[in-house]
Structure 1
Amino acid sequence: MSGNARTGCFDDWFCVSTAPQTGVLRVYLTRPHPVVVSVYSDAITPSPYTVALTSTTPHIIGKLAQPETFWSDMRKKWTGGKQHAQHDDTVIYGWPLQPVGQYPIVQGVNGRFSHQGASRYAFDFAAPPGTFVFAARSGVVIDLQQHFSQGGPHRRYAPYANYISILHDDGTTGEYYHLQPHSSTVAIGETVNKGQHIGATGNTGFTSLPHLHFAVYTAQAEGRYTSVPIRFAQP
């Protein structure tokens, strides 16, 4: 084998590289936040190969006989957060919209519109666009999107939701979705405190009305995630 090392980096989060002389296949973080990565290719066994990355130290997946074969069909999926994190059930969450009681929950646990399966423990709060959103729990911002403006009541709009993802100290993530474009007041890597203003509600992504979708998730393999039950402070 000859030539230069080949590298593919994804979403400013992690990279996959192959070494031409040795065929060594590596995956590594490009930011110091945990993520669960699953790599698919007929050139590796098992496929998918899943690894929970927690540091920037490269993880060796294995050696490839033909690296170019790997790149021809390589696919990847990932989810931010600690794999199979155990939620701290003693935590009491703050309300992400204030004042409490002014913004009704229009879809709660096991909601029929979209709160089944992975999102069964999510909450949707109806709120006019531009309503301030506050961190329900302290943590570190590990991901955000604020450039989309599309939204509607069809799953084809799901990729266009603006969001903020905050990593908690137990490895779970608090997810704040459907935010107003360019409303984030925080940045990736920033530590935020419970009750801190982080953004504003909007109507982006898969949504039938302006609202905030909030849930706490644990990361799983193959791009999956699972919501967990939480408790809010008494109003």
Structure 2
Amino acid sequence: MVRRIRFLRVFIVFFASLILNTTLVPPVHAAPKTLGCFDEKRFCFTLVKSASVPNYYEVTAKRHLALPLALTLYSDVLFTQSPQSHSAAKAPAGKQSPFSLSTGLAQSLVKLNKTSHANAFLDSNKPILLGYTKNPDAFWRSMRVKWTVGSINAKHDNNTRYSSPLQPVGAYPIVQGFNGSFSHTGASRYALDFAAPIGTPVLAARGGVVVDIKSDSNQGGDTPEYAKYANYVVILHNDGTTGEYYHLKYQGVVVARGQPVQKGQLIGYTGNTGFSSLPHLHFGIYLARYHGGYQSVPFKLEED
């Protein structure tokens, strides 16, 4: 027992001498994340230290695929400038929001207000300032984003006539039309469902540029939870609207994002994926909206 106590004392003294003779190195903190990309790098968010708002990072969005989209960014730690930013105006005493702050910069005043979201329409390759954040880690933890491809400023050309996406005309009956009670309601009220065997060729009803595709799903069912499994092709038209072709078969897309297509060109094959009770093609014309939303518009086929 005495030997063990002596050994322990010697060990403690030796360990203490190591501590006293060791130079303590401060911990190295990892640099904050400054870049986050989505949808196969269709667009990215960047955080850069602000030159105009001390101790804050500017949050910008930039598209990396030359196709338009409307996006909404959500975050618990996002601030935006108020309309009176860079002015000497001050809120009345006692009226300042608990979620706003002001920072003096030379002769100016920058006022930031906490916000739940910020919208951006990415129609060029230039970055768009969405707001500011002080804590990059908290920003990335809390952020969410929703987006819709297409132009937020689209105006449908009502004089346009669309060819039937399934040929020959009349061989594939319309089993659900505008305002159909099964699923053509709300934002999707203006759409047509053509019954067709799996593998029927789908043709572009109008020319444009392919802006979105999905073909990796083999799941489908007659309840709404299956909607996310639909395979599709989305084509941007020259008036900013999109023509959308849904429920294509697994690996049933034959075009690529960014590819120009002509009216009547083969773009895929029908299937039964997504929210679908029978093999068919869902076709509609849509306008992009923020918050991941969309709005269908009425249209006419050449055969009408």
Which bin holds the TM-score, normalised by the shorter protein? Answer: over 0.9
- Partner in structure 2 of residue 3 of structure 1: 31
Question: Given the alignment of the two structures, is residue 31 of structure 1 paired with residue 65 of structure 2, yes or no?
Answer: yes
Map 1:108-147 to 2 at 5 A: 108-147=177-216
Give aligned pairs, total: 235
Match 1:18 to one of 47, 50, 65? 47
**Structure with greater helix percent:** 2
What is residue 92 of structure 2 aligned with on the other side?
none
- C-alpha distance in 2, partners of 1:208/1:106? 11
Q: Report the AA paired with residue 7 of structure 1.
A: L
Counterpart Cα distance in 2 of 1:194 and 1:85: 20
**1:42 pairs with 2:76:** yes
The aligned residue for residue 138 of structure 2 is 69
SS at match of 1:164: strand
Aligned with 1:72: secondary structure? helix
User: Any unmatched runs of 5+ in structure 2?
Assistant: 1-28, 51-55, 80-114
Superimposed CA distance per residue, residues 78-112 of structure 1 (whole angstroms, 9 cap, x where no aligned partner): 00000141001111101000000010000010001
Q: TM-score, normalised by structure 2?
A: 0.75
CA contact (8 A) 2:32 2:137 kept: no
1:192 alignment counterpart: 261
Normalized against structure 1, the TM-score is what? 0.96
Q: Distance in 1 between matches of 2:36 and 2:269?
A: 34
Deviation of 1:20 after TM superposition, in Å, equals 5.0
Q: Deviations over 1:24-75 (max 9, x none)?
A: 1111112000000000012124322111111121111122222222112111
| C-alpha distance after superposition, 1:181-203 (max 9, x if no partner) | 11222111110000111100000
Query: What CA RMSD, in Å, does the superposition of the two structures yield over aligned residues?
Result: 1.6
Conserved 8 A contact 1:178-1:202: yes
Q: 1:2 to 1:181 in 2, by over 3 A?
A: closer
Q: 1:171 aligns with which of 223, 240, 263?
A: 240
Equivalent residues of 1:20, 1:67 under 8 A apart: no
- The share of aligned pairs that are identical, in percent, is 50
Match of 1:92 among 161, 166, 174: 161
Separation in 1, partners of 2:121, 2:233: 21
Structure with greater contact order relative to length (CA < 8 Å, sep ≥ 6):
1
Q: Deviations over 1:123-182 (max 9, x none)?
A: 000000000000000000001001100001011111110000000000000000000111
Alpha-carbon contact 1:151-1:160 (below 8 Å) kept: yes
Structure 2: distance between partners of 1:123 and 1:61: 37
Stretches (4+) displaced over 4 A: none
Moved more, 83-92 or 160-169: 83-92
**Which blocks of at least 5 consecutive residues in structure 1 are unaligned?**
none
Q: Which has the larger radius of gyration?
A: 2
Q: 2:214 is aligned with what amino acid? A: Q
SS class of match (1:51): strand
Aligned to 2:250: 181
**1:190-222 residue CA offsets vs partner (Å, 9 max, x unmatched):** 100001111000000000000000000000010
